[in-house]
Structure 1
Amino acid sequence: MSYADRPWLARYAEGQPHDITPDFPDALSMFRAAVARNPDGDAIRYFDGALTYRELDELTDAFAAGLLAGGFTAGERVAMYLQNVPQFVLGLVGTWKAGGVAVSVNPMNRERELELLLRDSGSSVLVCLESLYDGVARTVLAGQPGVRTVLTTSEREFQTRDDPRALPGTARPDLSGDDVTDLGAFLGTHRGSTPPPVSFAAGDTAFLTYTSGTTGPPKGAMNTHGNVVFTSQAYATWCGLGDDEVVLGIAPLFHITGLIAHVTLAQYLAAPLVLFHRFEPSLGVDVIREHRPTLTVGAITVFIALMNAPNADREALASLRTICSGGAPIPPSTVTAFHEAFGLWIHNIYGLTETTSPSHATPIGTQGPVDSASGALSVGVPIYGTVVRILDDDGAELPPGEIGEICTSGPQVVAGYWGKPEETAHAFPTGELAQPELRTGDVGYMDADGWFYIVDRKKDQINAGGYKVWPREVEDVLYEHPAVREAAVVGVADEYRGETVKAFVSLRAGASATPEELIAFTRERMAAYKYPRQVELLDEVPKTVTGKVLRRELRARQQT
């Protein structure tokens, strides 16, 4: 039996096609169409500031012209180390206009993480918040000769009020002695210039988004222009979005959800994208009340936080019509509680960095079923043109109800990992479907009606509120502490984040360290979502006779 031949999609998305034909050949063409369609409409709203599509077009022209004047060539990479600010969108589109590839960098990354991403991507340009340059990037760039141009900018740009709940209260750092260029001055110098026309094939890489892989170190997924156009259009078609939408940018823009479900979806719709630097629940409610967005997509932790914000009520969130959530397991009770509080249903979606956001979604207006055995909410059904199979350890296809690895192929699956042909071949084998198929590493099943459920993860990755954490990376940092003899990291249940990071540590003979000291040690060296919230000291970390850490035994300790 081939899941590609099953007719269930028509039952759950009546009146919609099984496949969609992309409206644009590449993501830059999609942006240009938005400018032509809605030149004087808002492209970005940021606190009390706004940029129209015409203004964004002019600024991205200036960005591209400036890069090209500095010797930038087609195919080079531009790394963006930014929060949810207008400069992220400007840098993304401007990079495309210069013929380049954007690289999204998590603003929570510290020195070791930023250094790895810049080196792996070979980025020649870094667009960076002044605060992140001052606190992190300055040190890293001393050892990165490949980065020729550093453009710094402030969270205070493109708006007129400094909201103390979201924007840094400290003065802007003095960077006058550094070899950096202020982005505003850079744009001013080149404003009015028009870069030469550029076009992309569907298979050309639009941006690199970094994801932890089966061996631990981050890998750059090559999200193509064809991937981007397909998933942007798929969101709009699946959700039945119209001409009056306003997109709330609540997910981090560096993440594949923010890139597609916020930035490029807004451009596909020629709609405003509402940004507010960094998520804070009460501020989020205020922004919704002020800008009246109609749709958003985010991790379930965001909606839990909004539900518990002191200023949240039905009137504040009344403009929202479509809400989707993915990236972390969704408790069915939370969906019910959110609906009772605001009259809005949260629709589950599922996808990975390697699927350029959605591969599965719950049809809008439909509530997904709950697995009676595990209590897990279904992640939905495959979206347009997507073939999903459940395979056993030998690669054989399993029938409905049988648990195995979720494997996905379709227009959203990336071309592979940047500069890593062996990892690409392993994760995207070409089998009986005669096209690359992503081995997700997630374990689940499909029921008789075509609904999919995730019941476990094949990988040891930890999913902390939608952020993926690889245990080995945390362990490597713990091993830098002089008192640590052995370290093993696992994910443990957490009421708010779904899962959080816990470390089990044994100490060197004669050495001493408290759990609090070890937590503080890692917090100084890692992104905020990665460091362990819990540390337990053991005499010995349990291992097999061959020396392999028994992670399952450590997880079992939490249940006894």
Structure 2
Amino acid sequence: MTTYTERPWLSLYREGTPADITPEHRTMLDLFAATLARSPDAVAIRYFDGVLSFADLDTRSDALAVALAERGFAAGDRLAIYTQNNPAFVIGLLAAWKAGGCAVAINPMNKARELTYLLADSGATALLCLEELYTAVARDVLAAGEVRVSTVVTCSPLDEQTRDDERLFAGATRGGAEGGALDLEQVFAEYAGRRPDPASPQGEDVAILTYTSGTTGVPKGAMNTHANLAFNAQTYRDWMGLGADDAVLGVAPLFHITGLVGHVGIALLAGCPLVLAHRFEANVVMDAIREHRPTFTVGSITVFIALSGLAGVTKEDWSSFRMLYSGGAPIAPAVTDGFEAKTGLYIHNIYGLTETNSPSHAVPLGVKAPVDPASGALSVGVPVFNTVVRILDEDGKEAPVGEIGEIVTSGPQVVPGYWQKPEATEQSLPGGELRTGDVGFMDEQGWFYLVDRKKDMINAAGYKVWPREVEDVLYGHPAVREAAVVGVPDEYRGESVKAFVSLKPGEHVTEEDLIDYARSQMAAYKYPRSIEFLDELPKTTTGKILRRELRASVT
């Protein structure tokens, strides 16, 4: 019998790809230093019409590290970064490491209650944030006195560029420092040429705290170590063959693990440009693609749907890309087929969690993922280098090949635990192996398939219905742009299947038509009993459709 520890998926690797890799760098600081020594004048960031070299990143992060240290930031301290996809985010990361500490990634959509919790839980003593977020949110949080932050540095989204694109920055001005905060541009000027005392982080030291969404409780800070990040940055580079001649389009939020590793980590390791555009606005991003000609990106499938659906977009607009990967949410086969028809590009699946520092699985470059004939699910790929993934049944025993169970992952990318939460660590990471909470299976060849989240399973009259399967069927309808399926209370069945759907521009279909379409393709207990049409489905900043919000709207 095939066992998971035998890694049957290795036969699916590209020819010449090793089963295991040896990390070239112990820490992210070592990784950056090697690239800086090799290519100091190479372009590190393109931000509208602004260009920063690796030498620029070095001098700017030196200046910020010195400014932080002078204000008491010491080894082991935490710098919270509360910005959009701006150059300041990358500079802040490097500065935190150079000052001997770690960073705390904060979603720029977070409001006062959420920010207070994250700052308090992490114990951050310094904060780097956008001026507008300081004025609207952070200033009042700090004034309340419930957090330890003593140093604030503010920045403007207009920094490091001169174009001031009206589609993003209409009415925006550089406000400068206020209320005791430092201005980042002034820090660069005042501390120009100064270098911090050398920092020597170890691989096991925390490089950044990334907080889980908190859908099943309070958010937990995953302790992403230097070794975790350095390993998976190299995984991306080696799996996809990325190098200095490539350019990475930063469509995922940098505060999210995909942006941290799949954008920042790759660029710092490969020594290639990272293209940033403040936040995702489809027309702005498409213009950045046309101008800067990136060769690689990884993002949510909703990003690719939005970009390919823009008026006037041609295959030529996409011609600079050598490869595309998508993660964060399962992809319906009909969506990848439709995207390829429009753009000429195949979207490779990738899968991972915050706790796996982005990828634990990926489709080998140049290979099309198979579709499971029984469920219609598109494979999320195979485990990457040095990684063992098992499927466990409800009793915690290894499930036979082909049977559904919980996906559990072990490898160099798995975090050691959650910040100051030993009980949660023991529950989710017993023995260092991550219990993902995702349900799936492995086929005989070693391809893995994600069925759904455990908590999203619908119990309809005793039958298990996985929303993912119903969504995949709905995506096959030519009028459907996005679909999400949830369980709603039903006096007879216990739960009933309900779908929320947004339509492609110019398309029209009735609820009855879609229900009939689904009924014709699945068992009677699975098809949706009701469908609600929305202009837009609610999403996270990373593009994941929020089933929990939809569920809450009807329960």
TM-score normalized by the length of structure 1: 0.82
Partner of 2:345: 344
Q: 1:159 aligns with which of 153, 161, 166?
A: 161
Asked if structure 2 preserves the Cα contact closer than 8 Å seen for 1:444 and 1:455, the reply is yes
Kept after mapping to 1: 8 A contact 2:98/2:199: yes
- Classify 1:61/1:336 alpha carbon distance in 2 versus 1 (closer, same or farther; 3 Å): same
Q: Hey, what does 1:10 align to over in structure 2?
A: 11
Q: By how many angstroms is 1:224 displaced?
A: 0.5
CA contact (8 A) 2:8 2:445 kept: no
* Cα distance in 1 for residues equivalent to 2:396 and 2:230: 31
Q: Which moved more, 1:413-422 or 1:130-139?
A: 130-139
> Aligned in 2, Cα 1:111/1:48: closer, same or farther, shift over 3 Å?
same
Answer with 528-537 or 80-89: which moved more: 528-537
Does residue 183 of structure 1 match 2:179? Answer: no
Specify the alignment match of 2:135 in structure 1.
134
Judge conservation of contact 2:158–2:174 (CA < 8 Å) in 1.
no
Specify the code of the residue in structure 1 equivalent to 2:353: L
The answer to whether the Cα contact below 8 Å between 2:7 and 2:388 also exists between their aligned partners in 1 is: no
Q: Note the C-alpha offset of 1:298.
A: 0.2
Q: Go from structure 1 to structure 2 and tell me whether the alpha carbon gap of 1:364 and 1:69 turns closer, same or farther (over 3 Å shift).
A: same
Moved more, 195-204 or 4-13: 4-13
On the 8 A contact 1:166/1:276 being kept in 2, the answer is no
- Provide the residue aligned with 1:452 in structure 2: 448
Structure-2 change in CA distance of 1:495 and 1:4 (3 Å): farther
Q: Verify the 8 A CA contact 2:116 2:147 in the aligned structure 1.
A: no
2:390 & 2:195 partners in 1: Cα distance?
Answer: 47
- Once the 2 structures are TM-superposed, how far is the Cα of residue 175 of structure 1 from its aligned partner? 5.7
Equivalent residue for 1:369? 370
- Structure 1 match to 2:477: none
8 Å CA contact retained: 1:134, 1:173: no
Do the aligned partners of 2:222 and 2:417 also contact (CA within 8 Å) in 1?
yes
SS at match of 1:166: helix
- Report SS of the residue matched to 1:212: coil
The alpha-carbon deviation at position 329 of structure 1 amounts to: 1.3
Distance in 1, matches of 2:456 and 2:218, equals 13
Per-residue deviation, 1:339: 1.1
Q: Show CA shifts across 1:279-333 (max 9, x none).
A: 1111111101100111000000000001011242111111111110000111111
Q: CA deviation at 1:493?
A: 4.6
Q: Is the CA contact 1:131–1:172 (under 8 Å) kept in the aligned structure 2?
A: no
2:297 maps to amino acid: T
Distance 1:236 1:384 in 2: 12
Summarize deviations over 1:255-300 as a string: whole Å, max 9, x none: 0000000001101101111101011111111101100111000000
In 1, distance between residues paired with 2:14 and 2:176? 55
1:511 — aligned with what? none
Q: Any idea what the Cα deviations from partners look like across 1:500-531, whole Å, max 9, x if unmatched?
A: xxxxxxxxxxxxxxxxxxxxxx99xxx99879
Aligned to 1:414: 415
CA distance in structure 2 between the partners assigned to 1:241 and 1:132 by the alignment: 35
**Residue 107 (structure 2) pairs with residue 106 (structure 1):** yes
Residue 87 in structure 1 maps to residue 88 in structure 2: yes
Call closer, same or farther: CA 1:411–1:535 in 2, change over 3 Å: closer
Name the aligned partner's letter for residue 116 of structure 1: Y
Q: Give the match for residue 28 of structure 2.
A: 27
| Whole-angstrom CA distance in 2 between matches of 1:492 and 1:61 | 51
Q: Flag the 1:33–1:151 CA change in 2: closer, same or farther, 3 A.
A: same
- Note the C-alpha offset of 1:374: 2.3
Measure the CA separation in 1 of the matches of 2:176 and 2:234: 43
Matched residue SS, 2:233: helix
Partner amino acid for 2:442? Answer: M
Structure 1: distance between partners of 2:283 and 2:215 = 38
Structure 2 Cα separation of the partners of residues 492 and 112 of structure 1 = 31
Q: Residue deviations 1:453-488, cap 9 Å, x none?
A: 111211359999xxxxxx9xxxxxxxxxxxxxxxx9
Summarize the Cα distance change of 1:127–1:456 in structure 2 as closer, same or farther, 3 Å threshold. same
* Structure 2: tracts of 5 or more residues without a match: 458-466, 472-485, 487-494, 505-537
1:501 equivalent in structure 2: none
For structure 1, which segment, 5-14 or 110-119, has the greater mean C-alpha deviation from structure 2 after superposition? Answer: 5-14
State the partner residue of 2:439: 443
**Matched residue of 1:33: which SS?**
helix
Change (3 A) 1:496 1:98: farther
1:145-179 Cα deviation digits (max 9, x unpaired): 41001111100000011101122424445764x12
Matched residue of 2:444: which SS?
Answer: coil
Alignment of 1:520-539 (within 5 A): 532=549, 536=553
Q: In structure 1, what is the Cα distance between the partners aligned to 2:544 and 2:238?
A: 35
Q: CA RMSD in A?
A: 2.6
- 2: CA distance, partners of 1:211 / 1:168: 32
* Mapped partners of 1:234, 1:495: distance in 2: 36
Structure 1 residue 2 displacement after superposition: 3.2
Report the Cα distance in structure 2 between the residues aligned to 1:294 and 1:90, rounded to whole angstroms.
Answer: 23
Alpha-carbon distance change, 533 to 215 in structure 1, aligned in 2, over 3 angstroms = closer
* 3-state SS in 1 of match to 2:455: coil
What's 1:505 paired with? none
> Deviations 1:212-248 (Å, cap 9, x if unpaired)?
3574110000001110011000001111223311111
Instruction: Tell me, in whole angstroms, the C-alpha distance in 2 between the residues paired with 1:186 and 1:42.
Output: 22
Q: 1:190 to 1:23 in 2, by over 3 A?
A: same
* Cα deviation, residue 495, structure 1: 4.7
Return the offset for 1:426: 0.6
1:176-255 alignment, distance < 5 Å = 176=178, 178-212=179-213, 215-255=216-256
Aligned to 2:518: none
Q: Aligned residue for 1:485?
A: none
Matched-pair contact (CA < 8 Å) for 2:403–2:441: yes
SS of the counterpart of 1:40? coil
**Counterpart Cα distance in 1 of 2:14 and 2:149:** 48
Instruction: State the secondary structure of the residue aligned to 1:35.
Output: helix
Secondary structure of the residue aligned to 1:315 is helix
Q: Distance in 2 between the 1:297 and 1:101 partners?
A: 25
Query: Hey, what's the Cα distance between the residues in 1 that align with 2:389 and 2:553?
Result: 40
* Aligned-partner Cα distance in 2 for 1:20–1:12: 13
Alignment gaps of 5+ in structure 1: 431-435, 465-470, 472-487, 498-521, 542-560
Query: What per-residue deviation string (whole Å, max 9, x for no partner) do you get for residues 406-452 of structure 1?
Result: 0000000001000100000110012xxxxx10000000100111011
Q: Is the 8 A contact 1:27 1:225 kept in 2?
A: yes
Q: Normalised by the size of structure 2, how large is the TM-score?
A: 0.83
Q: Write the distance in 2 (CA, Å) between the matches of 1:116 and 1:37.
A: 41
Task: Return the offset for 1:82.
Answer: 0.3
1:217-366 to 2 correspondences below 5 Å: 217-366=218-367
Alpha-carbon deviation of 1:70? 1.0
Overall identity of the aligned pairs, in %: 55
Give the Å deviation of 1:94: 0.8
**Where do residues 464-543 of structure 1 align in structure 2 (5 Å cutoff)?**
493-495=500-502, 532=549, 536=553
**Equivalent residue for 2:98?**
97
Relative to 1, partners in 2 of residues 1:492 and 1:94: Cα closer, same or farther, differing over 3 Å? farther
Cα pair 2:381 2:447 within 8 Å, conserved: yes
Of 410-419 and 332-341, deviating more is 332-341
